[in-house]
Amino acid sequence: MSEMMTSDYCLVGAGAMGMAFADTLIAETDKTLTIIDRHPRPGGHWNIAYPFVTLHQPSSFYGVASRELSRDQIDRTGFNRGLADLATLPEIQAYYEAVMRDTLLPSGRVTYLPSHDYQGEGLVKNVRSGAVQQIAFDTLVDGTYWQNSVPANHTPSFNVDDGVQFMPCGGIATLDTPPAGYVIIGGGKTGIDALLWLLEQGADPDQLTWIISRDGWMHDRAATQTRPEFFKQTMGVQAAAFEAMAQSTSRDDMFDRLEACGYFVRLDPDIRPQMFHAPTISRAELEALRSIKNVIRLGRVSHIGRDQITLARGTLPTSPDHVHVDCSASAVKNRKTTAIFKPGRITLQTVRAYQPTFSASFIAHLEGLGGTDADKNAKAGVVPLPDGLDDFVRMAAANMMNQAIWSQDKVLQRWIRTNRLDGFSGLIASADKDDPEIVDILTRLRKNAMPAAMKLQSYLVG
């Protein structure tokens, strides 16, 4: 065992949340930090993501606070045309390399151990050599609590017979011979990405079979834009969403109203979604997906044979000449929550809906301010990750509770407004207050925030 290393913090996981935490901690304190990650490069699951993946939210929401990821451009081609740019896999990988190389390591207060596995009790193992060393630290920061799951490291929950062409999502990019057809298994973002990539590459919609176990609500990406020219569209939908929540008479009525105001969209107008994993989609992407007519809704796959796929509520013919693409991995394996701040431990989780990197930066800021764990937890209520429809209610209620608490702290509000990852606060602050339409949107936001929060709470109790 080599000589013991020491630091104030030991961060396990150099993924998106871990890097955002490290960036803010190093910028705002004089503490030392050891970063441990199993991957050879920073970026976490982006190291093993499928090659055609992009962000599904504008790049301005992602990364670390000190460095812009967005190209500050409007896409002019493709399914995202007319909207702010979405970073590609190479851009994201290069970005995190640059953050580590140009920001964290030059601070002189960061030790980075790539290709290392944290064994617990301060023991770290080099996954290349097997060498083990001891690290002494005051606080462990867990950046892996929610356990990202991607196609490359996912084990499907169903059986696949020998002779079946079966591959993870990224495998379709390596095919050089057209199959008899593509069977995409999974209704979430990964399945959507695979289908859209195939359509962009010229696949005929009739070649595509899409197996969806549950339909889900999706966000319209046009309502998530942070550029000033999108203020009326983005914040107008946010104001309408508050109104929809406040005026709703039941949970289902709330979802109907949220769809009517443009906050939510669904794949098939005739099929009511039963889940919400928070994917964001453009209207052009939605129309492209609607061109796929062979959509199978027979529940989860239990077995893929050479000539038949068995599902919970029926079967589907197939053949050895079809390619079966596993897109069934959930984004995270663990949706449980725990207190973020505990003695000697910080567990990174979201404190704002849809914004994991802002959340990690916010947690690092609170840690830098000091105070008791109870004080910090009071300002960092966990916003749970959604799955079912009730989870959306819990997520939205927790999100609005945090916003209400933060609004009472003017110093904290100023920090949020200047944090690059926040997005919407800066958008509101820069709005033209002499524009009557903008004034009306801001008034509706303020007027309906509390009634919306109260209605969400009533659905949780009821």
pLDDT tens string 11-52: 999 999 999 999 999 999 999 999 999 999 999 999 999 999
H-helix segments, 114-250:
189-200, 231-247
CA distance 414 to 405: 14
| Residue 422, domain member (yes or no) | no
* pLDDT grade for 154, boundaries at 50, 70 and 90: confident
* pLDDT grade for 265, boundaries at 50, 70 and 90: very high
Half-sphere exposure (CA, 13 Å, Cβ side) for 152? 11
Is pLDDT above 70 for 1? Answer: no
Task: Express each pLDDT in 47-95 by its tens digit.
Answer: 999 999 999 999 999 999 999 999 999 999 999 999 999 999 999 999 9
| Residue 420, domain member (yes or no) | no
* Domain count across the chain: 2
| Residue 405, domain member (yes or no) | no
Is pLDDT above 90 for 3? Answer: no
CA 432 to chain centre: 31
For 196, the domain range is: 151-217+277-326
Handedness of CA 125, 126, 129, 133 (dihedral sign): negative
Same domain, 52 and 77: yes
Which pTM value belongs to this model? 0.96
Token digits of residue 279: 């994917």
What's the pLDDT at 332? 67
What's the pLDDT at 432? 86
| Residue 415, domain member (yes or no) | no
What's the pLDDT at 462? 64
Q: Are 291 and 199 in contact (CB under 8 A)?
A: yes
Same domain, 56 and 35: yes
| Residue 457, domain member (yes or no) | no
| Residue 243, domain member (yes or no) | no
Same domain, 13 and 137: yes
Task: Express each pLDDT in 374-433 by its tens digit.
Answer: 999 999 999 999 999 999 999 999 999 999 999 999 999 999 999 999 988 878 888 888
Tell me the residue ranges of DSSP E strands in 158-270.
Answer: 159-160, 165-168, 181-185, 208-211, 218-220, 264-265
* pLDDT grade for 330, boundaries at 50, 70 and 90: confident
CA distance 94 to 70: 13
Same domain, 7 and 134: yes
Same domain, 94 and 167: no
Q: Is 201 helix (H, G, I), strand (E, B) or coil?
A: coil
| 379: CATH | 3.50.50.60
What's the pLDDT at 428? 86
- Rounded to the nearest integer, the mean pLDDT of the chain is 95
Residue with tokens 């670390």: 64
Q: Is 104 helix (H, G, I), strand (E, B) or coil?
A: helix
Q: Are 5 and 135 in contact (CB under 8 A)?
A: yes
Of 292, 295, 298, 321, which Cα lies nearest the Cα of 310?
A: 298
Same domain, 191 and 288: yes
What's the pLDDT at 423? 80
Same domain, 143 and 180: no
Same domain, 183 and 61: no
Q: Give the max Cα distance, the chain.
A: 68
Q: What is the rounded (10 degree) CA torsion for 178, 181, 183, 184?
A: 50
Average pLDDT over residues 6-15: 97
| Residue 263, domain member (yes or no) | no
What's the pLDDT at 151? 76
DSSP conformation letters of 292-357: --EEE-S--EEEE-SSEEEETTEEEE--TTEEEEE----SBS------SEETTEEE---SSTT-HH
Same domain, 7 and 107: yes
Of 208, 216, 206, which Cα lies nearest the Cα of 184?
A: 208
Same domain, 306 and 343: no
| Residue 13, domain member (yes or no) | yes
What's the pLDDT at 334? 65
CA distance 222 to 240: 14
Contacts of 167 (CB under 8 A, 6+ apart): 323, 324, 325, 326
What's the pLDDT at 331? 66
